[in-house]
Every structure is written in C-alpha cells, then in structure tokens.
Chain A
Amino acid sequence: MTALNELYQQVILDHNKAPRNFRKMEDATKRVEGYNPLCGDHFTVYVKVDGDRIVDVSFEGAGCAISKASASVMSAMVKSRTVAEAEELFGEFHRLVKGELQGEEEIERLGKLAAFAGVSEFPARVKCASLAWHTLHAALSSSEQSVSTE
C-alpha cells in the first residue's frame, strides 16, 4: 500500500463522506470550539457527561477529510466511556499519529482508531487528526470555550 492509500484508508473516506454524530446537541453539558487557523478547520464538539461517564458526543463544522473523519471516529469511540477512559484513548491516539506506537499488536488494539496510523507519515497532518481530540479534551477537562492547534 502506498503512503497515500495508507493515509486515506477506506474507514477515513467513509467517515468523511458520512460522518457519525454530526449534529448539534441541544442538551449538551459542554460545547467547545476547535479551530486550526492554518488550514481553516473549524469544529464544535458537544458532550453530555453524567457523573464521570460520557453519555453522548456530537460535533459539527467543516474541515479536511482527516480532521472530519477523526472527529467522527472519536465521537463513536468515546460514547458511553468514562472521562478517564476517553482521556487515555486520546493519549494512545496521540502516540499513534505521532508514530510512537511500536508493533502491529499495539496498533490493532486501538480498533477503528488504527485507521489513522498512516497520519504519522505526514507530519503536517497530525494537527488535522488531533483537532477534535484536543477539543474534546478541553470540553472534558477545563472551562475553556475554544481551543486552537496553533
């Protein structure tokens, strides 16, 4: 597989074309905007947290295939997990796109997130892949209303 096909895997193309949880959430407990001024990617992530559990996640906005698919896969992955589990997953995802995970097994363990392994070959795109995650992190951990990857 070429680096390009590795980057734009079918999972990513699917989620870009038909993003999951792509909607505004009226009863969100928190909404945060994420913005990448360099390329204009701009998403709003909504979360509904009950105790320490994320009961719902959604997002809306516009961005490239990598950032949009990443937001979509993220929303599907963290729903019904605890805040701590979601944060741990973010850590793993970050290591994945930075190319810091060693071995097939470690990558496979990430399930659908493994589709983003190809990003590590494109350093300029790491910010695209991480934008939604940074935004979710801000929504879960602080009082900030917006985050920027610059």
Chain B
Amino acid sequence: MTPSDTDTVTEQFRKMVSIAGCRHQFPLLRQYVNGKPLVYFDNAATSQKPQAVIDAMMRYYQESNSNIHRGVHSLSERATQSYEEVRHKVRAFLNARDHREIVFVRGATEAINLVAHSFGRLALREGDEILISGMEHHSNIVPWQILCEERHARLHVIPITDAGELDLEAFPALLTERTRILAITHVSNALGTVNPIKQLIAQAHAKGIPVLVDGAQAVPHMHVDVQDLDCDFYAFSAHKMFGPTGVGVLYAKSRWLEEMPPYQGGGDMIKSVTFEKTIYNDPPYKFEAGTPNIGGCIGLGAALDYLRELNMDAIRRFEDDLLAYATARILTVPGVRIIGTAREKAGVLSFVMEGIHPHDIGTVLDVEGVAIRTGHHCAQPVVQRFGLPATARASFAFYNTKEEVDAFIKALHKAREVLG
C-alpha cells in the first residue's frame, strides 16, 4: 500500500464516519411511531430533509421572499440571485457544461412531460417510434403514451430478465430507423436495478437517437455526470434527494433547448408580447413560465450543498454496504423472496413473503414503527412482469442504520407470527 492509498482509505473512513453521524441532522427521524422508534424505509417514495434544508427555506421566507426576474428593488434582486445560484449548483452537481442547460420544473414527472410535449412536437411524426423499458415508473410511460396517441406513433418496450435487468440482447434490434427517442430509468424504483445507461446511450447515439434518462432514483444514491453519460436529457425531483417537494430539474443539452418549442406560455418565458407576435425568452427561461417554486429551489440548493459536503461516492459506498447487509439478513426470514436481483442495485429491497400479502406485511411493520411501501410502486407493468399483484419495498438512504435493518427483520418475523 502506497502512502497515497493510505490517505485515500483514511479519507474514505472519515467520510463513512461523517455519514454515520449525520442522522441527528434529520429532525423528523427523532420520533416514535406507534410507540416504537421510527424506522423510515420509504426513501424511494420521498426522503426526509436535513435541518439545513428546512432552515434555508424558512430563512428565505423570513428574509428574502420576493418575486424574481422582475423587481428593481433589493429584495427581488436578492431572491433572483439566490434562485439563479441554485441553477449553478445544479450545473456543478450534474457536471453539466452550462448552467443554461438547467431548467427548473415541479419534479421528474413534469420534466419528462416537458420533453414529451416539446421534443415530441419537434421530432415525432406518424409511424415513428419511442423506446422505453419494462421497468419504468408510470411517469416515464404515460407521457409517451399520450404523445404516441396524438402523433399516431408507436411505443416499444425493452424487455427485462427474471433478475430484473434489461435484456441487453433484445435492446439493439429495438433501436430502429423510426426510433425518435430512448427514454429510460437510471435506477428502477421498484427493483433497485442500476441500468448500464452510459452503454445504452452510446448504442442509441450510434444510430442518431437521443436519450432521456429518468434519474429520480439515482441522484440520491450516486454521483451523476451528464457529460460523461452524454445523455440528451436528465430528469430528477428534489424531494427524493433530501430537498422539498414541488421542485425538480430537467437537464437538457443546449441544442435541444434552442430547438424545442415552449412547454407552457406565460410570464417570464417571453422577451416581448404583442397581440400579433410574441418573442420567446432564451433557454432555460423559455421553459419556465410563471413564478417558479422559488422557496423550493432554495431548499434544493441547500440539499445540494449538504450532499456535496457528504460526498456522493462516500454515500454510495455506505449504502451499498447497508443494502448488502439488509439483503443477507432478509434471506434468513422464512418464505421471503427478493424481487429484483440485478448484479448492480441501489437503495431498494423489494420482496414478497409466501402466503402473506404485502399490504398485511406493511400494516404489521407499521405497528412496529417500520415504514415501508407496499403495492405496485407506480410501476404496475414491472410488478406484473413478475406475476405479482404487489410487492413490499424497503428503500434506504444514507441516514439509515444496520440497527434499523435489524428492527425491520424482527418485524418481518412478527408478521409471520401474526399472519401464520
């Protein structure tokens, strides 16, 4: 081991310790539910917020609240500056080339709808094809279905294997000369599968097909570099990455934002308006009609600062360790079957228990203070793919602990005891 290796290991250890120590910065986690310490394992649905995010939003409303891009007064300038600073923070977080490639939206769902609407109108003709995968969230299925119906285009689906991985052998043939966009999730919310999107993007680009990546389940768990991935669009929500609800990001390459027509009309997205002719604003403002969620954006900025401090690579290592522990432990519970056994996973443990419906597991766990999600996880086709009406899903964040996994496993034994 060279001295520099030792330094790296020491640095890694320091980061691991700082992650383990961050739990107390999340006030919501300090509570009892049904008389038991809360074990929050529903992070794929939404994450909890550190005090720093809550404070930043409160401070904004107490000290700087004002409308942006409008006023000549000091408050408005201050609010505008804070809002635009977050755009630069997002650029750095994703390693985008330019801050003007960052569009603020309501969440990943709106980001995908924006692309389906604007890019779809630009590029899709009758008989064209859109390619998605069999493990998409409804938010990366339904906008494309609506578009296909309008344009008389066809939706094609990359099949998935029994392990919950994309069928990479079937994939190349699905990229045809009529495919206008590939829209695919980075990490599956129902299975936890991490898709090899860099490879998929390269294959799609080789045929001139642009790619949208749904990153909602990836950004809380791993470092994302949009230039390295070379994706055309990347969508995510703030609330799944320790920021507030109601704000999200669409990253898009400049050339698309220049070419695409506006998504919504209104204030702030225009340069000049007369009844005869309106001149649209430049990107990204062209896509930000109306007063945005300024307070939410400030919260997102605080969440990005928080994550940068913790370091995404350290978070990934910490969570991989936690997921491996939970996976090994759950397999000791009689009758448990894990749904989604991909080689590379992040943050999600989906499972069923023989003879017990997931909804009943969820109720018993809740009584034990353990919050999990049960159902189809807004990804009905993937749950149906495994011949199931529903699964139970534990999903993790860096503030979770092995002790919590132990409490979760104990509660699963209790479910077996109560439900036979």
Contact = CB atoms under 8 A, between A and B. Distances in A.
A71 interface: no
B367 A3 contact: yes
Nearest to A121: B367
Most buried by B among A2, A5, A41: A41
Interface in B119-154: none
Contacts of B195: none
Given A4-B418, A13-B420, A40 B389 contact: yes
30 contacts: A2-B367, A4-B363, A4-B364, A4-B418, A5-B418, A8-B419, A13-B419, A17-B420, A39-B358, A39-B359, A39-B374, A39-B375, A39-B390, A40-B376, A40-B383, A40-B389, A40-B390, A42-B389, A62-B389, A63-B357, A63-B359, A64-B359, A64-B360, A65-B356, A65-B360, A66-B360, A68-B357, A122-B363, A124-B363, A125-B363
Counting chain A residues whose Cβ lies within 8 A of the other chain, the interface size class is 20 to 34
Given A4-B364, A40-B376, A124-B363, A65 B389 contact: no
Given A4-B418, A64-B359, A64-B360, 8 more contacts: A13-B420, A39-B375, A39-B390, A40-B375, A40-B376, A41-B389, A63-B359, A66-B360
Interface string B347-384: 00000000011111001100100000011100000010
Most buried by B among A5, A38, A39: A39
Interface string A109-142: 0000000000000101100100000000000000
Which 8 pairs, one residue from A and one from B, show the smallest C-beta to C-beta distance?
A64-B359, A64-B357, A40-B389, A40-B390, A39-B359, A65-B360, A4-B367, A64-B360
Contacts of B383: 40
Contacts of A2: 367
A65 B357 contact: yes
A41 to B, nearest CB: 8
A7 interface: yes
Contacts of B375: 38-40
Interface of A: 2-5, 7-8, 13, 17, 38-42, 62-66, 68, 122, 124-125, 128
Interface in B193-249: none
A96 B226 CA distance: 55
A2 B417 CA distance: 14
Contacts of B357: 62-65, 68
Contacts of B390: 39-40
B247 to A, nearest CB: 26
Nearest to B384: A40
Interface in B398-420: 418-420
A63 B383 CA distance: 15
Contacts of A13: 419-420
Most buried by A among B359, B376, B389, B390: B359
A105 B374 CA distance: 36
Nearest to B357: A64
A3 B366 CA distance: 12
B361 to A, nearest CB: 9
Contacts of B367: 2-4
A4 B363 CA distance: 8
Nearest to A10: B420
Contact of A8 (B358, B359, B389, B418): B418
Contacts of B374: 39
A120 B364 CA distance: 15
B173 to A, nearest CB: 32
A63 B358 CA distance: 9
Most buried by B among A4, A13, A38: A4
A41 B383 CA distance: 13
